[in-house]
Structure 1
Amino acid sequence: MNLIVDFGNTSIKAAIFDGKNLVRTYSDISPQNLKMLNDENNLEHVIVSSVTKSEQEIKEVLERDLIYLSSSLPLPFQINYKTPQTLGLDRIAGVAGVQELFPNENALVIDMGTCITYDFIDANSVYHGGGISPGMKMRFKALHNFTAKLPLIEPEEDVELTGQSTKESILSGIIYGISAEIDGIIRMYSDKCAHLRIIICGGDAKFFENKLKAGIFAAPELVLMGLNRILLYNA
């Protein structure tokens, strides 16, 4: 059994894998819960991806050796990126997850979390980079924080294209704006690359997966699957 841990910007996610098989996932857990998972399961290996905790801090919590994800760790794909040391760990893990699901295919990973990230890997397992733009909640907060009168509102499912109030206009601008952005970027990558697989993941993926035009494969556990693939590659 292997423990997979993702310390994100706002929460901790974890999973237990038996080889390549996902056994169980855990969301919004605490460091103390992680220690319990480690103590209560017969774990062979642990891998951690963290943007908030250092390797030493996590080792002190779990009281064991572990694999700590970084761009310098051996990876199952080649990185063709000018500054690999600045590459987000969630982006690395997402690309590895796509390799697990769709090996030897051209793929675009769209991760809809705090930010929306786009990551392209080709059929020869070469990662080329992608793009970063503000996520949905960040856009709502930006309109409120950087203007004098626009309110902070929450996203809603049924939104009219033509807003007839300030609230409706904000909802339309952000939700249809994100949808148009994603559809447009998918179209541009598809024009450059035939037989492109599109994968969407992240906290806001479920909100948007039915609002997008292109055929998309939803993989909510993509990052955890990718971390497990990297663990198995290094174990």
Structure 2
Amino acid sequence: MTDDRFAHAPHAEGIPAATVVVFRRAADGGPPEILMTVRSRSMSFAGGAAVFPGGRVDEADFELAKTLDSDIEQDELAHRVAAIRETLEETGLAIGMRGEVDASLAGKARELLLERGELAPVLDKMGWQLDPSEVLPFARWFPKNEKLSRVFDTRFYLADLGTGAVDITVDQTENVRLFWTTAQGALDRSETGELTIIYPTRRNLERLAQFTDFAQAADDCRRHPVRTITPFLSEEDGQRWLRIPDDAGYPVTGEPLDAVMRG
């Protein structure tokens, strides 16, 4: 059956992008941990902020998507390809792959990806096949703003590493740090000033903090079909708030505009 969870979301002028929330089980049996990266302060978008691995969808991702045998719609498939590619490039984790995959092979694949800049030759060299069903659609954010020259239309995905006993290494280009944390832990560290978190990331962390394991997160995806979220301004008791729709699965739907960290 065709996966049409994004089919009715509006196409607009934003730069297509994809990002992945990678889960692993906590060693102490506590809440699941997720992988985050801190972007270089030199980056024009979200410089210095803690975000999930990801980036823009390249033309090569669209071309690779055309070659895949899948019922997933082509545009959506290209976004999943980008999510898988960016995760390998930025973290060294090979998600969404079928074939012989271990830490050593993932390292070699990452080196080749950084050299070639495209995922297709990596798959050929490693003898891997993509399994886009391993990245689950979670959300889509498009913060339209005519004052900004670069606005990203970003699709968020979830992926599960299970025990997560793997190596991660920062790419030291766009990102300067990689770390595992619980969603609530990231929120707590932002309150102390240890982490900088932009508005979409904060709202998604609050949603992720509700889940006790990956299965619960996957169930939430099924219960809340993805729709494009565009934050909007409201006036409340003389104060301006930045809000999102209250029926999209998010426990917190806004905050005062003067408290918002934007990219």
Q: Name which one, 1 or 2, has greater alpha-carbon Rg.
A: 1
**Higher helix residue share:** 1
Would you call these one fold, judging by a TM-score over 0.5? no
TM-score (norm 2): 0.23
